[in-house]
Chain A
Amino acid sequence: MKARFLIPLGIFLAMAGLFWFVLNQMNSGEYNPRELPSALIDKPAPVFELPSLHKPDQSIGTPNFIGQVSLFNVWASWCVSCRVEHPFFMELAQRNEIPIYGLNYKDERADALRWLIQLGDPYVASAFDYEGRVGIDWGVYGVPETFVVDKQGKIRMRYPGPVTAEVWERKFVPLIAQLRSEQG
């Protein structure tokens, strides 16, 4: 038991190693302690029917998702991070990469429409969720959030926070390729 005095040093090194590992993961964006897993993964998208942002007399809802792999992006004109991800969604829309549906969350219609006119509209259509109830059904806890919905209308991924080109390549591209190869 000569090396007994080394035990605290060993414990210290183990803890320091663990902390270093976690901090490193946080810095690289691999791990975010505030990021919550969605309770809806692999479950059918919550059924909803909301008026369209542009045409209040038309409705947008769950049936829009069926038959294609699509994105469902929760956004608002008051949301700062939505401005961060917006140019990238414009790029995706111009490349015709994937249909993007929007959920305009707890916003004023006029503000939202102005936002789209000023910055461009990457969405096939945006649903207008003034009260945020559809947001609750989807488990939204912050804006922006982006869901990947498969051909059967099931939620396969939820990404909280702004989607950047880097995030897109790392998290979305492989999944979307896989979902497209699945039977519709």
Chain B
Amino acid sequence: MMRCLLPGLVMALLLGVAGVGTAAIESFSFDSPEQEARFKTLSGQLRCLVCQNQSIGDSNAELAQDLRREVYEMIKAGQDDAQIVTFLVDRYGDFVLYKPPVTSTTALLWAGPFLLIVIGLVFLIRFIRTRVAATATDEALSDEEQARLDALLDPSAKEPRP
């Protein structure tokens, strides 16, 4: 679907390096290095809703700029990280978080990798067991094979040398 912010995005892409550079030029002044660190961490953890694979810290979209300003002002106003995150989740939903909370809809996402490991282990153990069983039965020689082996090992037998 054509969203209006898309042309802006395309433009930012066309501008390439210049576009990436401007994101950092924005000047925010903080009361303490600790506040600045919090701002950087938070803007790295929040997803830009327009360019969905970028954080609001990375993105140059207008909405990302507005959300950065919003986060900045909340930090300056003395709000803690949880309050800022709640503010954004109330408006944009869990999608704004790169690390979604565990709910019934995200349970599979969180448990999936572990489920895959368990399934993989089960297969691996079954595979190893059948292999072990197969080699164990192979070790026993049939009567015919045993006779042939004895003949080969018997130095008195006269076999033509190759």
Contacts and interface: CB of A to CB of B under 8 A. Distances in A.
Interface stretch (A59-67, A75-83, A116-124, A172-180): A75-83
Nearest to B65: A132
Counting chain B residues whose Cβ lies within 8 A of the other chain, the interface size class is 20 to 34
Interface residues of A, number: 32
B70 interface: yes
A160 B5 CA distance: 12
B3 A136 contact: no
A111 interface: no
A161 B3 CA distance: 6
A80 B11 CA distance: 14
Interface string A145-175: 0000000000000001110000000000000
Contact of B66 (A34, A84, A136, A138): A136
Interface string A80-92: 1110100000000
Contact of B3 (A106, A137, A143): A143
10 contacts: A40-B91, A46-B91, A80-B4, A131-B66, A132-B66, A137-B91, A141-B5, A142-B63, A160-B3, A161-B2
Interface of A: 32, 34-40, 46, 76, 78-82, 84, 106, 131-133, 135-139, 141-144, 160-162
